[in-house]
Structure 1
């Protein structure tokens, strides 16, 4: 094996970043310009082999995607056996392998990891892979394949997949044949599971009107179309218009459309022209983010982001749990990041009376905390999130004997939702279906949904800096611990505005910082954001 790795590695020389910088495995794995990624994908393949062997031959996933980034970018990340993100303790091993300067050093680090973790390199190993629609994908998968061939790893390339579909397939593969089977091990199995759960969760309700889905010209378009073909329309009246579905022309991926565009620009995609008062939503390039929105007759734009989806799910699930007679038995909680609008936090904690916990940005942090609840709801404001049902919660739903038809309905719908919601990771298709189920049950329009609370005006600003690593945070990324003095200046600015808060944090994928600001009015939120941005710019470019 060592000789095979050494020989194959010579085809994938690592490109040094220069300036003393190193490649780092973050929330999105490794993500950058695609021309740098082939040697990184090769080395991630070696790590996937080690991870599979370490996990006693369980199947590991590798996803090649750059999500909402422009088409010239790409990325690679590992999926753990139950569909989770790579265990955080292993990120340092990914970073060490990728930054090995020579082929000989790479083999040395590979052997050191195996020795340190007492990994049996003779165990059978298995890896499955998927990729989004970027033209760089096949070349990167080829590099991954070479690493897996060098380590004699069984490998299945599923080709085009949404990121959530790969997470589903990893978990389904590792639970196949046992009582906790997650679903059939196939892409069709994913569609069948969602379709069946959607019909059960609707419980006879019908959906009014057409939903327009902007797929960011990414992988979500063909996969959503396949799902809709698997859905029996005689059982549920779900009319969907798929737009921005051009996966043939690479340059239009995420261009002026998609969930990230809608969230950051706070406007509808540039094309097609939205239907006034119509119901619309947007996916991102790999279909793991979801944002809802509409425009009124005067073309005024209104957005329902991840905070809104989180609060809607909390409202509905809380009512169902109470109706099922399990309010005292099942603990429901909501996990947010510092980017969550303060009004959503107040609504959930004060009106719905549910606990809210703030974590650092990145779904791996939210997912981990959500697992501490019987029903854990987490969404980032960008629309990435899901709902987790604990084994105890599922057991309670299955074993509770209903005392009335209404209680039985609540139990049945909760069980259906546990199948409908992709519990491995945020899934735009799955989350969209969850939203449609809730709106149908409540008989709400998007305007009705928006009236549950009023968002505090807010602004998000991106600032390019000389070195983002100068900025360190504490208190779930809500305060800067470094550079010294920067947080004091931010605090002084916040005091000048009513109902205000602001924080700054380094980007996980770019050499930049992001500033978030809230205040009582839009003009004050804009002014606060600009003032804090100037502080960050000054400290970041000294």
Structure 2
């Protein structure tokens, strides 16, 4: 038994004892629960990050955030060396390490070390970032204690967006080939590429060079100020819901999740007819666009709309280059059926459907030369393969190609620098969307007119145990409880263009219900009927759903 193992146990017992009796699971976004229950989890994730770093022989990141959750919650997730989510086999280790008793922690660490033949003498760096929640500083201290307990070196980046942390990790592991791994390096890379694409003049037409930005009273409100300074007249950003000037609580009645799930205009943003607005979430990895028209009707342009806009523009540039590149778009079951039809039938771009969770979309996107992936909630990005980047670099310098072909290749290369390929990045995605709207000379109404969404409704049912509900076929079919899928099928048949599916949350004991149909009234009634069946057959607790 080494001194390090004894230190681990002593710290756990004296400073970070296990305080929660029930098990907690590493879900699609890591651990997420009430901040008061996370101290010992943070400490143990500091330990795991050091083990993972030594095993991968690279820098690992830890992000402390609960994204779109209320301010009282918090969470933590680990970031792998290429800036991607931690691989699934280690998610199971994270769950195990989080739930063992204090007196079993030492043996569990030793077991992981032996199983993966980890050299405990290797010096490693662990990058740590946090969002603006009041609980984040104390939880970060717990992470640091865990890192130090196994002789790792913690490097604290302070308050940063989640996408920035992913970017920093990839930069460190590519020795700054991907970019300079600092906040200034991040701003410089994105803004320089955006200005390069924007040029000296706008394509005008109907594009208006102004957006109203809802910062959700979170870190996205802080960091957008650095972009405002650097963008200057290139893009006018009017900031709202900025906690720095005391306008409200994190994610409360504002932010991307509120706008998407409630399909309502957020508080704190002025209601100006036909004005293009964006909302990001608490850690700035999701974004949605929206506006109210002259009749005060709300219009939402979510992740599906962003994905189709990006895929269409990228396809245009690839065709203009004359280069053979494989372009694909990845969605989840939450994608609106109308968007899938538009992508496959009008844009003629292949679509793949995967399970909910960015890690699933990201993994699938790697199969393409250009993989566009977005969840309907506004979390997504674009990944370019090495083959794509090599071909584009060659085309940009190939004098045998026409001027138009070379310029199209140069545009694609600049777009790559605007995009944060490591993970969904609200600010990066915003710059990408603004680039495309300007290039097309579109206003937000013209963007919306590309296809008509089917009305949809999201509901959730609190259950005794979410693990009783299992799914297959990218979560579009319910396997257990027995009989539930058959009931859903019978309900869906009653509605014109009806579609519905249910899935368990990755972090809470709730079941999420999605429904779409030909009219808003039908989609709401369909969702409520399915929710009622979930409540009856999947162990619902609390007040039962009401059918309108």
Q: State the TM-score, normalized to the length of structure 2.
A: 0.95
2-structure distance, mates of 1:309, 1:477: 22
| Mapping for residues 55-134 of structure 1, pairs under 5 Å | 55-56=56-57, 58-102=58-102, 104-134=103-133
Aligned with 2:18 (options 14, 17, 22) = 14
* Structure-2 residue corresponding to 1:480: 478
1: CA distance, partners of 2:366 / 2:76: 25
Shift of 1:88: 1.0
Alignment partners' CA distance in 1, 2:352 and 2:458:
22
Contact 2:241 2:247 in 1 (8 A): no
Q: How does 1:2-401 map to 2 (within 5 A)?
A: 2-10=5-13, 11-18=15-22, 22-56=23-57, 58-102=58-102, 104-176=103-175, 181-206=177-202, 208-231=208-231, 233=233, 237-247=234-244, 252-326=249-323, 329-400=324-395, 401=398
Residue 243 of structure 2: SS of its match in structure 1? coil
CA displacement at 1:273 relative to structure 2: 2.6
Output the CA distance in 1 between the equivalents of 2:424 and 2:247: 24
2:217–2:248 CA contact under 8 A, matched in 1: no
Q: CA deviation at 1:422?
A: 0.3
SS in 2 for 1:323: helix
CA shift, 1:540, in A, is 2.1
Residue 47 to residue 247, structure 1, CA distance change in 2 (3 Å)? farther
Aligned residues: 529
CA distance in 2, matches of 1:139, 1:477: 37
The C-alpha deviation readout for 1:84-108, integer Å capped at 9, x for no partner, is 0011110011011110112x30010
Shift of 1:204: 4.1
**Which structure 1 segments of 5+ residues have no match?**
none
Checking the alignment, whether the CA contact within 8 Å between 1:205 and 1:441 is kept in structure 2 is no
Q: Which runs of 5+ in 2 are unaligned?
A: 541-548
Q: 2:545 maps to what in 1?
A: none
- Residues 7-44 of structure 1: CA distance to partner in whole angstroms, max 9, x if unpaired? 111211112344xxx11101110000000111000000
| Range that drifts further, 4-13 or 364-373 | 4-13
Segment of structure 1 superposing worse, 359-368 or 269-278: 269-278
Conserved 8 A contact 1:243-1:272: yes
The answer to whether the Cα contact below 8 Å between 2:320 and 2:408 also exists between their aligned partners in 1 is yes
How big is each residue's C-alpha offset from its partner over 1:292-330, in whole Å with a ceiling of 9 and x where there is no partner? Answer: 00111221110100000000001000000000111xx10
Q: Is the 8 Å Cα contact of residues 201 and 414 (structure 1) preserved in structure 2?
A: no
Q: Measure, in 2, the Cα distance between the counterparts of 1:492 and 1:73.
A: 38
What corresponds to 2:494 in structure 1? 496
**Partner Cα distance (2:188, 2:156) in 1:** 21
**1:252 aligned counterpart, secondary structure:** coil
Is 1:455 the counterpart of 2:463 in the alignment?
no
Deviation of 1:492 after TM superposition, in Å, equals: 0.8
Distance in 2, matches of 1:504 and 1:249, equals: 38
Q: CA deviation at 1:440?
A: 0.1
Aligned to 2:520: 522
Q: Deviations over 1:457-506 (max 9, x none)?
A: 11111111121111000000001000000000111111111211110111
1:183 is paired with a residue whose SS is coil
Aligned partner of residue 63 in structure 1, secondary structure: strand
Q: 1-side partners of 2:247 and 2:438: how far apart?
A: 36
Over the residues paired in the alignment, what is the CA RMSD in angstroms? 1.3
State the match for 2:546 in structure 1.
none
TM-score, length-scaled by structure 1: 0.96
**Are the aligned partners of 2:163 and 2:423 in contact in 1 as well (CA < 8 Å)?**
yes
- Separation in structure 2 between the aligned mates of residue 248 and residue 481 of structure 1, nearest angstrom: 49
How do 1:410-429 and structure 2 match up within 5 A? 410-429=408-427
Say if 1:131 and 1:159, in contact at 8 Å, map to a contact too. yes
Equivalent-residue separation in structure 2 for 1:423 and 1:204 (angstroms): 27
SS in 2 for 1:505: strand
Q: C-alpha displacement at 1:4, in angstroms? A: 1.3
CA distance in 2, matches of 1:537, 1:361: 22
Give the deviation of 1:247 after TM superposition. Answer: 4.1
The CA distance in 1 between the partners of 2:111 and 2:133, in whole Å, is 34
What is the distance in 2 between the residues matched to 1:412 and 1:313?
17
Per-residue deviation at 1:231?
A: 2.7
**Equivalents in 2 of 1:165, 1:248: separation in Å?**
23
User: Residue deviations 1:172-200, cap 9 Å, x none?
Assistant: 111115xxx01112110000000111112
Match for residue 468 of structure 1 among 466, 469, 487: 466
State the Cα deviation string for residues 411-466 of structure 1 (Å, max 9, x = none).
11100111110000000000000000000000001100000000011111111112
Task: Summarize the alignment of residues 404-415 of structure 1 with structure 2, pairs less than 5 Å apart.
Answer: 404-415=402-413
In 2: Cα distance, 1:307 partner to 1:232 partner: 29
Asked whether the equivalents of residues 303 and 374 of structure 2 are also in contact (C-alpha less than 8 Å), the reply is yes
